[in-house]
Structures are given as structure tokens and as C-alpha cells.
Amino acid sequence: MNKLSPMVCARPPEYDVVMHFIRLSKSHTDRRPVRAIAFDLDSTLTRPYLDFTRLRAQLGLPEGDILHWADSLPPRQRAEAFAAIEAFEQDGVEHVAWNDGAQETLAALQARGLPVAIITRNSRTSLTAVCTQLDIRADVLVAREDATPKPDPACIRLASVRLGVRVETLLMVGDFRHDTEAGRAAGAITVLLTNGKTPTWTVEADLVIHRLPELLTYVEKE
Ligand SMILES: [Mg+2]
């Protein structure tokens, strides 16, 4: 499906020959090879554009995993819940905007020859609408219909397969614990983006950055 999407671009010709690394500390010796980068969407590539407090109020679900909850409902309520979630996601698309420095960071990494995936818990309709709105061209798009969503590692593994890279060389960048938990469980290298906020959970990530452009200082060519 991805190959037919207008948002999916061809791999650059140097894809197979250029090796990149990520430094995981100030030490230049502590670095790991990187073949591709996977980004979360909401609050990572984009500014927060979904008001989950409003959705939770609408669904009557004050806490817990929304998708997991919806999936566990009887068929009719399940369909109604997912219709409400999809409408909510679609509402947010028209207000979507790039996160600080995200457009430039993505362009710079792609110019270096690194393939890019976007992995989101959103629907494919919502994901492709955001990509169209912001003119994002990724090599691989993974929405919730494609694989069990984060924090399950299946979506990370699917991205690595579709990108044609070993998951150990895939960088997973996201702003929430779901992103780093899924990445770690899959065996990817994980980067937590704080957006300048202090995480309210115990962070387990290979690297923590506060703004997305910082990533460019850690990813280097051989
Ligand atoms: Mg996010």
C-alpha cells in the first residue's frame, strides 16, 4: 500500500552505501550504527493537535489506553467508539502544524540519505491527511491498521521490515513513553523528545533530547 502512496518517496541512491551513527553520549566512542529513522507523529513531527482530554470526556474514559479500551468493547459500541476516535482525529488535521524545527530536521536527515518512517497510533486516514497537509514525504507509513500500535513493538518491527533495515539500526524518536517502550521492546535505538517538559514517568531511552533539531548533532556520517 505504501508504494502507491503519493506521500512515500523513493530511497536516495546512496542509501546502501552511506553509514550513519548516533552518538549516545558526549563520548565519540559510544555510538551505534543507524540505517533509518522512525518518528512518532503527534507532538514529535507535529505540534500537539489532538485534544485527548476532550476525547476522553466524549468517550467517558478518564484514563487508560483509549485504543485498547475501544478494541475490547462489544461490536456495536466498538464501532461507535472508533467512529468517534476517527472523527476526533480528522477534526485535528486542519489545525496541524510542524513541531519546532521538525520540518528542517526531517529535511536535513533525508538529505543525508537516511530513510524515514512515521509510526503512529492514529488511523491511516488521519496519518495520510497530515502528510498531505504538511507535504511530508516518508519512505514508510505505519498507522494503527497496519500493526498493533505502540506501546506494542509490532509496529516498530513492521517499519524496520518495510524500510529494509535491521531493527537494531532503526532509531525510534518520540515524545511519549509508548514510543520508547515500543522501540526498546523491538530492539530499536530509542530517543525521547521532551519538548522542554519534564517527563512524568521513568524515562528509559538511549538518548533524551529537548528539541528535535538536537538530533542532527547526534547523528553523524561515518
Ligand atoms: Mg506523540
- Give distance in angstroms: CA of 17 to centre of ligand 1: 31
- Give distance in angstroms: CA of 174 to centre of ligand 1: 6
pLDDT at 199: 93
What b/e sequence results for 77-105 when a residue is b if at least 16 CB atoms lie within 10 Å of its CB, and e otherwise?
A: eeeebbeebeebbeebbeebebbeebbeb
- Give distance in angstroms: CA of 178 to centre of ligand 1: 8
Angle value at C-alpha 50, between 130 and 203, nearest 5 degrees = 100
- Give distance in angstroms: CA of 80 to centre of ligand 1: 24
- Give distance in angstroms: CA of 44 to centre of ligand 1: 6
Closest of 34, 31, 11 to residue 23, by C-alpha: 31
pLDDT at 7: 55
- Give distance in angstroms: CA of 72 to centre of ligand 1: 23
One-letter identity of residue 59: L
Question: Under a CB-based contact definition with an 8 Å cutoff, are residues 45 and 38 in contact?
Answer: no
Going through 55-104 in order, the beta strands assigned E by DSSP cover none
User: Which residues, including other chains, have CB under 8 Å from residue 76's CB and lie 6 or more apart?
Assistant: none
Per-residue pLDDT of the chain (222 residues; tens, 9 = 90+): 444 444 555 555 445 556 899 988 766 678 899 999 999 999 999 998 788 888 899 888 888 889 999 999 999 999 999 998 888 888 878 889 999 999 999 999 999 999 999 999 999 999 999 999 999 999 999 999 999 999 999 999 999 999 999 999 999 999 999 999 999 999 999 999 999 999 999 999 999 999 999 999 999 887
- Give distance in angstroms: CA of 41 to centre of ligand 1: 6
- Give distance in angstroms: CA of 42 to centre of ligand 1: 4
What b/e sequence results for 121-131 when a residue is b if at least 16 CB atoms lie within 10 Å of its CB, and e otherwise?
A: bbbbebbbbbb
- Give distance in angstroms: CA of 197 to centre of ligand 1: 13
Residue 12 burial (CB count, 10 A): 15
pLDDT at 14: 44
Q: What is the DSSP string of 116-185?
A: EEEE-SS-HHHHHHHHHHHT--BSEEE-TTTSPPTTSTHHHHHHHHHHTS-GGGEEEEESSHHHHHHHHH
Closest of 133, 154, 144 to residue 82, by C-alpha: 144
- Give distance in angstroms: CA of 76 to centre of ligand 1: 29
Q: Cα(35)–Cα(79) distance, rounded to whole angstroms?
A: 39
Q: Cα(181)–Cα(60) distance, rounded to whole angstroms?
A: 26
pLDDT at 222: 77
Long-range CB contact pairs, 213-217, < 8 A, 24+: 213/100, 213/101, 213/104, 213/105, 215/105, 215/109, 215/173, 215/191, 216/105, 216/108, 216/109
DSSP 46: B
